[in-house]
């Protein structure tokens, strides 16, 4: 590579992203940023569950399944956004209220434990809080997806339409910046956690509890930021409308152009009816106490979502239908791979001595690498197929799982003496960003850009929501798979009675090593097998 070509690549990769930023992108980016900042309480949640609640790894994985179900209900929400486009901001306000309620429940549970547990047991409050938050984020995310569509202009400053390549680049940049804002929010909260937990090793349990509670109060900025994004977006549209009216454009044309740019959408009762059936089905099975309720709900959810997709596919050209099916299937299997569950984090806390501050450092590094990865991969995403990008991410995810396995088998005990204590457990852990790595978000960027570019103009939000519901069901499959591997390879942390100090559940990490190896193998094998099958058949994707 010559100096000139290297300079061109660096400019396209880094400076180009900044140059393509538009002020119109800011409102949806604020909503995505709020979602990223919501991770502020994740580390607190990990330690709160470990220290205060007697919940197994399999139970927590199962709870993750139910918490993921609201994302499948993004279908009717997205369609509702298309119908009430001009007033879609109201859904962000409703979502903000649900998120705030979730945060305040956890604040009360930590800061006013006696009063809260007098009403419901701590576990019940925790489950309610866990289920409320995703409901709020689903509402806000559906609106943010729609806002990304109206943020990309169809005409240049001279009133001429942009070329197809330019529109593709802008949609890819918009989706890239959306993920960038989301992961940037994760990085920001990691810095806050590092600051808040400074000196945590010297703190008493009561002092830690105060910090846990304060972090939940700080997290109330999440709904505030998303609301600010909607207010800003509405203000920018109204300002543009005044400028056009002042320039002599008919007010009715301005209203159609800015506040319903893609025409009116009529209700699709198949979507609303199917979603109602999904809701009734899910609640009924969930409350039934059936042994395989999660599996039944997943199968039913998948059937309903696939049915709704079949009702939308006729809106696309035949070639686009096949490409969308292939693309979404590849992303689905990439996101559906089981994770290790909380046992890996418990091992790091109990056996390796990782505290809240150091886990925050790992989260920051993970987010930073994901941001760098997105920027570096941006030119590839604009020029390479989604299958190529997912294959690259799969190999990278497999490599990232190796340090975690090495830590379990004592790699640090061998490297530390050889390096004078430099390459110890914490040094190796810094190389391992497998703890809920945000890189899974990268796989969504090309697909979201494809939908923004190719979906019918009057059904953009509906297509976003339905396909996101399908892909997000992969997270439910991931939660079920995580539950399965944790039932096969049993991992327990030490649990003590907080009153007597008696050990009620002994720690047992003897099967964690095999669990990590199996998960690492599945991380590589499952996505690559899906890519091979799709790319070998008629659903081959070239976009």
Token pair 């995310």: residue: 141
What was the pLDDT predicted at 242? 78
CB 227 within 8 A of CB 96: yes
Q: pLDDT category, 257, cuts 50, 70, 90?
A: low
For residue 461, pLDDT over 80 is answered with no
| Cα 414–chain centre separation | 36
Burial 39-78 (b: 16+ CB within 10 A, else e): bbbbbbbbbbbbbbbebbbbbbbbbbbbbbbbbbbbbbbb
The reported pTM is 0.70
pLDDT in tens, 349-407: 888 888 878 877 877 777 777 777 777 766 666 667 778 888 888 888 888 788 889 88
- Least-confidence region, from 37-41, 154-158, 398-402, 456-460: 154-158
**CB-based contacts of 392, cutoff 8 Å, min separation 6:** 377, 380
% pLDDT > 90, the chain = 11
Q: pLDDT category, 525, cuts 50, 70, 90?
A: very high
Radius of gyration of the chain (CA): 24
* Mean pLDDT, residues 222-229: 87
- Least-confidence region, from 42-46, 243-247, 252-256, 485-489: 252-256
pLDDT in tens, 328-354: 888 889 889 998 888 888 888 888 888
* Mean pLDDT, residues 78-97: 82
The residues pairing with 492 across neighbouring beta strands, listed in sequence order, are: 508
* Mean pLDDT, residues 222-247: 80
For residue 116, pLDDT over 70 is answered with yes
HSE value, Cβ hemisphere, 13 Å, CA-based, for 408: 21
Percent helix, strand and coil across the chain, each rounded to 5?
A: 80, 0, 20
pLDDT in tens, 36-72: 887 778 777 878 887 777 777 778 877 887 887 787 6
């Amino acid at each position: 590579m010559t100096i000139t070509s290297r300079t061109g690549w660096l400019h396209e990769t880094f400076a180009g992203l900044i140059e393509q930023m538009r002020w119109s992108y800011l409102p949806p980016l604020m909503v995505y940023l709020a979602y990223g900042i919501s991770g502020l309480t994740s580390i607190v949640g990990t330690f709160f569950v470990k220290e205060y609640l007697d919940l197994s790894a399999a139970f927590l994985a199962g709870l993750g399944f139910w918490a993921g179900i609201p994302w499948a209900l993004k279908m009717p929400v997205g369609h509702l956004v298309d119908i009430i486009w001009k007033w879609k901001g109201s859904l962000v306000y409703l979502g903000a209220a649900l998120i705030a309620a979730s945060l305040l429940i956890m604040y009360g549970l930590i800061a006013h434990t006696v009063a809260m547990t007098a009403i419901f047991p701590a576990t019940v409050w925790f489950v309610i809080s866990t289920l409320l938050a995703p409901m709020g984020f689903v509402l806000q995310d559906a609106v943010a997806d729609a806002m990304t569509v109206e943020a990309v202009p169809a005409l240049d400053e001279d009133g001429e339409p942009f070329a197809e390549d330019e529109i593709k680049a802008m949609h890819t940049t918009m989706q890239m910046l959306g993920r960038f804002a989301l992961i940037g929010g994760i990085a920001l909260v990691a810095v806050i956690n590092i600051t808040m937990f400074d000196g945590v090793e010297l703190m008493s349990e009561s002092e830690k509890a105060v910090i846990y509670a304060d972090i939940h109060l700080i997290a109330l900025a999440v709904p505030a930021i998303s609301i600010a994004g909607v207010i800003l977006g509405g203000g920018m549209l109204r300002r543009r409308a005044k400028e056009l009216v002042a320039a002599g454009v008919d007010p009715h044309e301005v209203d159609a152009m800015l506040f319903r740019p893609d025409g009116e959408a009529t209700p699709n009762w198949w979507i609303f009816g199917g979603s109602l059936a999904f809701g009734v089905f899910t609640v009924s099975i969930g409350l039934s106490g059936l042994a395989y309720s999660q599996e039944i709900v997943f199968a039913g959810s998948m059937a309903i979502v696939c049915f709704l997709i079949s009702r939308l596919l006729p809106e696309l050209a035949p070639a686009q239908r096949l490409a969308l099916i292939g693309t979404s299937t590849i992303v689905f299997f990439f996101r559906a791979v089981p994770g290790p569950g909380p046992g890996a984090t418990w091992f790091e806390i109990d056996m390796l001595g990782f505290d809240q501050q150091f886990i925050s450092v790992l989260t920051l590094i993970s987010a930073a690498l994901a941001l760098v990865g997105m920027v570096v991969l941006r030119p590839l995403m604009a020029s390479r197929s989604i299958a190529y990008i997912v294959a690259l991410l799969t190999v990278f995810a497999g490599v990232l799982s190796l340090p975690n396995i090495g830590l379990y088998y004592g790699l640090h005990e061998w490297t530390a003496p050889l390096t004078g204590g430099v390459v110890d457990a914490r040094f190796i852990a810094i190389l391992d960003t497998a703890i809920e790595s945000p890189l899974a978000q990268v796989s969504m960027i090309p697909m979201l850009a494809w939908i923004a570019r190719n979906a019918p103009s009057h059904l953009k939000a509906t297509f976003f929501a339905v396909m996101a519901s399908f892909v997000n069901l992969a997270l439910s499959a991931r939660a079920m798979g995580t539950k399965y591997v944790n039932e096969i390879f049993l991992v327990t942390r030490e649990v003590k009675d907080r009153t007597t100090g008696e050990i009620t559940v002994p720690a047992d990490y003897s099967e964690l090593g095999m669990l990590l190896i199996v998960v690492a193998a599945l991380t590589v094998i499952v996505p690559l097998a899906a890519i091979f099958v799709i790319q070998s058949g008629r659903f081959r994707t070239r976009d």
